Structure 1
């Protein structure tokens, strides 16, 4: 998959997409590659996000050979105001998890394992001294919401109480560093290079041949490795809660086992909570209020109280507790 993609946004706008996902945050169009070799995932800012998309730290992403068993960390090309990724698949793991056909779960499990291996290698990268890596955009949006105003925040604080909100923000400070308003250069341990938005929606298994792709670049940032693992597990836990027919409980172990030892399971659970709260906040911001959010408010209160333990499989939580 080395052929050059089309260089003009107009060529991408006028073609019939295989799939299209539109929110106020982002518009994603999936197109067949012109040369017939795979698919193009073109992401552009949504109506509520006027700034162009960029991936300034993409050059830090390592190339992982096929024999590693890791997903290919696919970095984008800048096209117009968006980013273009080339993959071997047209559907993400988020779609496969909702597919009842035989083999769909096995395909998703294989992709999740490859994502765990890829994240392990990404987290081993030591950013150079001149690297400018800020807070992951999702965490930045969550913080802005928590300190801001709006119907969701008012209702959430009325249900949660201020203590839960302060606890959540404290976890964010621990996982990505305090919000100083600056982009730190060459983050020092325990902070290093993180994907920033490791999710089932960014994980693309091949349609027939090729490697699983993890779309990487736009959200690269500084943080603890537990952030990425919790972000991915939080999405699986949320789907299990919101749509029990698609129960993902058995899949929670897969990326953790593939990643291997090292991450603090308590921090992984806390990161899972941050991911679900960020999704709730993004929905309210970019889609508007919906009464379903009342259920999310109650659910996230429970998650905060249990520190996201349901997202970390029993037996993997251990006895360690993060401070």
Structure 2
């Protein structure tokens, strides 16, 4: 199969991404290939039982397409109408780029709401998303660690102390084995992030690349995963730190409101409630946003190399743990 003209290639030790303009396709027809990075063992695949949970949203107006990958070589091939992710568009200072990302976040929220509404099949539940396994093994020290990840864990014990680590592990447990009023286990995208969200280049639908991270857990994990991306952006990007002072630029808080508002509106037929209970618990969403930022930090150490910037991340994540990620959920949104 000819994938067409290469447009972009990037990756880490965990995953490699290659984007091609589809042969014979229109101006907005691209193929995204995700494959294993050099430090990952085995191909990327989607178990058929999990793929069957993903709803076809072709006729769902305003929702992103859940672009489930098909096997190609040792990776997965996705089709999308754009060549750049929302993460890339967020580095563009033009106001229209921010509006495009806001539109894409709203579409992703509606798609996630549809996915979360699918009933799990009888029998064994799908396992939690693999990112949660990596986080637990790193934080608890229960598996072999790459040298940079082991160094990061030693420094985390110094900066965080044992109490913060235990709180983080407790949140991770609750994210995949929820308890309490209204908590339920639903199908999860598992890596709902601005890097997997693809706005259309010109015409076409927003795509949320879906597949290798599908799993099950509480719905707030997918919401916190996307919002954690935005929390990290607000902290790390000079452009977005200044957005609140720049006319025409959407702030991270604006984007958070758009995403959570669209997710809640997608279930508004039941007065803001779906069949599984309240559309989200804002406390759990904030905690899951912290899990996302910490997973990104430890994945960098595991699949890239040591960087002294990780020391700044440790201080930042200590603040996030202390505040339970409340900055991920703007006031007035629940």
Alignment partner, residue 305 of structure 1: 322
Alignment partner, residue 123 of structure 1: 116
Change (3 A) 1:27 1:295: same
Q: Return the alpha-carbon distance in structure 1 between the equivalents of residues 207 and 135 of structure 2.
A: 27
5 Å-filtered alignment, 1:257-272, equals 257-260=261-264, 261=272, 262-272=279-289
2:16 pairs with 1:23: no
SS at match of 2:52: helix
SS at match of 2:216: strand
2:257 pairs with 1:253: yes
The alpha carbon displacement at 1:132 in A equals: 4.7
Alignment partner, residue 306 of structure 2: 289
SS at match of 1:127: coil
Please tell me whether the aligned partners of residues 86 and 195 of structure 2 are also in contact (alpha carbons under 8 angstroms). yes
The alpha carbon displacement at 1:90 in A equals: 0.5
Q: Return the alpha-carbon distance in structure 1 between the equivalents of residues 238 and 329 of structure 2.
A: 17
Q: Return the alpha-carbon distance in structure 2 between the equivalents of residues 244 and 46 of structure 1.
A: 30
Q: Return the alpha-carbon distance in structure 1 between the equivalents of residues 197 and 131 of structure 2.
A: 17
Alignment partner, residue 54 of structure 1: 45
The alpha carbon displacement at 1:313 in A equals: 0.6
Q: Return the alpha-carbon distance in structure 2 between the equivalents of residues 167 and 100 of structure 1.
A: 37
The alpha carbon displacement at 1:131 in A equals: 5.8
The alpha carbon displacement at 1:130 in A equals: 4.2
Alignment partner, residue 96 of structure 2: 103
Q: Over the residues paired in the alignment, what is the CA RMSD in angstroms?
A: 1.6
2:229 pairs with 1:225: no
2:307 pairs with 1:316: no
Alignment partner, residue 34 of structure 1: 23
CA-to-partner distance for each residue in 1:166-213, whole Å, 9 max, x for gaps? 1001001111129xxxxxxxxxx6111011110001111111111000
CA-to-partner distance for each residue in 1:207-245, whole Å, 9 max, x for gaps? 111100001111110100000000000100101101131
5 Å-filtered alignment, 1:160-179, equals 160-177=160-177
SS at match of 1:84: strand
Uncovered stretches (5+) of structure 1, i.e. residues with no partner: 1-5, 179-188, 318-323
User: After the TM superposition, which of the residue ranges 268-277 and 56-65 deviates more from structure 2?
Assistant: 56-65
User: After the TM superposition, which of the residue ranges 57-66 and 23-32 deviates more from structure 2?
Assistant: 57-66
The alpha carbon displacement at 1:276 in A equals: 0.0
Please tell me whether the aligned partners of residues 58 and 216 of structure 1 are also in contact (alpha carbons under 8 angstroms). no
CA-to-partner distance for each residue in 1:253-280, whole Å, 9 max, x for gaps? 1110000042000000000000000000
Q: Return the alpha-carbon distance in structure 1 between the equivalents of residues 95 and 171 of structure 2.
A: 39
Q: Return the alpha-carbon distance in structure 1 between the equivalents of residues 23 and 33 of structure 2.
A: 14
Q: Return the alpha-carbon distance in structure 1 between the equivalents of residues 162 and 60 of structure 2.
A: 49
CA-to-partner distance for each residue in 1:287-309, whole Å, 9 max, x for gaps? 11110000000000000000000
The alpha carbon displacement at 1:102 in A equals: 3.8
The alpha carbon displacement at 1:283 in A equals: 0.4
2:258 pairs with 1:241: no
Please tell me whether the aligned partners of residues 32 and 40 of structure 1 are also in contact (alpha carbons under 8 angstroms). yes
The alpha carbon displacement at 1:69 in A equals: 1.0
Q: TM-score, normalised by structure 1?
A: 0.88
Q: TM-score, normalised by structure 2?
A: 0.86
Please tell me whether the aligned partners of residues 117 and 259 of structure 1 are also in contact (alpha carbons under 8 angstroms). yes
